[in-house]
Amino acid sequence: MAFDPLRDARFYPPRNFAALEPDYADFDRARVVVLPVPYDSTTTARAGAREAPQAIIDASADMELYDLVLEREPYRCGIHTLPEVAPHSDSPEAMIGRIQSIAAELIDAGKFVVTLGGEHTVAAAPVRAYAARVPDLSVLAFDAHADMRDEYNDSRFNHACTLRRSLEAVRGSRRTSRFGPPPTLAHVGLRSATREEHEFLRAEGIPYFPAHTYRRLPDGPRRVSEQLTDNVYITIDIDSFDPSQVAGVGTPEPGGLFWEDVVATIEEVARHHRIVGFDLTELAPDYGPRANAQLAAKLVYRTIGLAMGEA
């Protein structure tokens, strides 16, 4: 028999998301592709998010592949992990262009793209790629910060501008859904914004759910779901979590969301909408315990399971 270390139990499993065997990690077979982007060049607080993609992938090797809540094994849809995207040194906009071009190729190949940042800026790239291909796309954003600046530190592609760029990308595709004509972005977990950003959210009619009120809503997930179109892209800035659950972020804010808040919202969205892709960003693993990367890995796996359904 030919020597094959990828299938030889004497060796550690491959270093891919969930440590999958080749049959479930093959690119051609996989429905899901993990795109690692170790980029944090516009970070304005504590850098370190560039270490997150590999930390999350390494932590995912410790997960059980059977999801006890979903009562199935999401990996069976096939999950391929790409190499890390190399940085583009010209400008943040050039880097977003690079990520967008890769995401576009993957979407056109029929893949469900999971982008692992890196700073939140990287989310603007897959949002743009999906918005160009899904006419009625809306965005569900989990974030402690508004990220609605038009420009910051001389760049329109700073991490503080991510949701402004994302909103611009999807606005042209607004349509009427079963719930009526909704805005194209819903923001959950807000705890920090400038006066101008807060006024922008209100003036544009963007539904936002600050963490301090969201946790008290008896029907928060349903109310968020009602703001979204049939096709939804989810962007998860992990600083939306309370620092007691995820301390390893560059810009922590007190009073955040908890695991149940985030997962219940994604579950509700998955029941009523098609999740077309998602990202998870802003984990800075060196600032917190290893459990932070494990939470992130579990959240990625759970979201894949919810998006892929029973298939």
How confident is the model over 131-154, as pLDDT tens digits? Answer: 999 988 999 999 999 999 998 888
Structure tokens at 133: 């291909």
Q: Give the pLDDT band (50/70/90) at residue 174.
A: low
Which residues is 145 bridged to in the sheet?
A: 192
| Mean pLDDT, the chain, whole residue set | 93
Please give the Cα distance from 282 to 120 (Å, whole number).
Answer: 6
Q: Region 279-308: what's the mean pLDDT?
A: 97
Q: What is the pLDDT of residue 210?
A: 97
CATH superfamily ID and name for 28-308:
Ureohydrolase domain (3.40.800.10)
Q: What is the pLDDT of residue 182?
A: 55
Q: At what angle do helices 124-131 and 162-171 cross, to 10 degrees?
A: 0
Q: Give the Å distances, CA to CA, from 229 to 176, 189, 200.
A: 8, 20, 21
Q: Region 83-101: what's the mean pLDDT?
A: 94
By C-alpha distance, which of 57, 59, 39 is closest to 48?
A: 39
Q: What is the pLDDT of residue 177?
A: 47
Please give the Cα distance from 144 to 126 (Å, whole number).
Answer: 20
Q: Give the Å distances, CA to CA, from 203 to 183, 196, 197, 199, 207.
A: 12, 10, 10, 6, 11
Q: Where are the alpha helices (DSSP H) in 204-289?
A: 211-214, 220-225, 259-272
Is residue 42 pLDDT above 70, yes or no?
yes
Structure tokens at 127: 């949002």
Q: What is the pLDDT of residue 277?
A: 98
Q: Give the pLDDT band (50/70/90) at residue 4.
A: confident
At residue 253's C-alpha, the angle toward residues 247 and 258, to 5°, is: 65
Please give the Cα distance from 243 to 252 (Å, whole number).
Answer: 6
Question: Structural domain boundaries of the chain?
Answer: 28-308
Please give the Cα distance from 224 to 36 (Å, whole number).
Answer: 28
Q: Distance from first CA to last CA of the chain, Å, rounded?
A: 34
Q: What is the pLDDT of residue 1?
A: 61
Q: What is the pLDDT of residue 176?
A: 46
By C-alpha distance, which of 89, 85, 92, 98 is closest to 158?
A: 92
Burial pattern 176-185, b for ≥16 Cβ within 10 A else e, equals ebeeeebbbb
Q: What is the pLDDT of residue 173?
A: 54
Q: Which of 170-179, 187-196, 199-208 has the lowest mean pLDDT?
A: 170-179
Q: Per-residue pLDDT tens for 226-278? A: 999 999 999 999 999 999 999 999 999 999 999 999 999 999 999 999 999 99
Kindly report the backbone phi and psi dihedral angles of residue 160, in degrees, each rounded to the nearest multiple of 5, phi listed first: -80, 0
Q: Region 115-123: what's the mean pLDDT?
A: 95
Q: What is the pLDDT of residue 6?
A: 74
